[in-house]
Amino acid sequence: MDTPSTLKEELAAIDIRVAELKENIKLGEALARLHEEPDFMHVILNAYLEKEADRLFGVLTTPSYLKRDVMENIMDKLTTIRNVKQFFVTVIQNANMAQEQIDEEEDLRKEITARDTQGDTDG
């Protein structure tokens, strides 16, 4: 049988995990709202993540002599664009998985509570 302090710690840990998961959902919802905003779509999604990436890639692939530091700077910019895109994907994936994880945490909470209740009736 678990001690009351252990049960409280387990339940507190579940509360912390659920709160973190809810933050993931809120972040995903916020990003989804941003993706619906015309200015965000125009400036970030179209102008920066697409057109600027195409422009930078074009500069790299155009037959011309670029100094090493200029090429490195362009590569850094392309890497940043890739990282922003990956961040957006990760936020959405985390938000999508969070509700399932919350459900699992709530099931665990029920098991712990039932175990505690069972322990009270056994004693």
pTM: 0.77
Range of the domain at 99: 4-122
Helix (H), strand (E) at residue 17? helix 4-36
| Residue pLDDT, tens place only, 27-83 | 999 999 999 999 999 999 999 999 999 999 999 998 788 898 999 999 999 999 999
CA–CA dist 84, 37 (Å, integer): 17
Total domain count, the chain: 1
**Residue 55 φ/ψ, nearest 5 degrees:** -60, -50
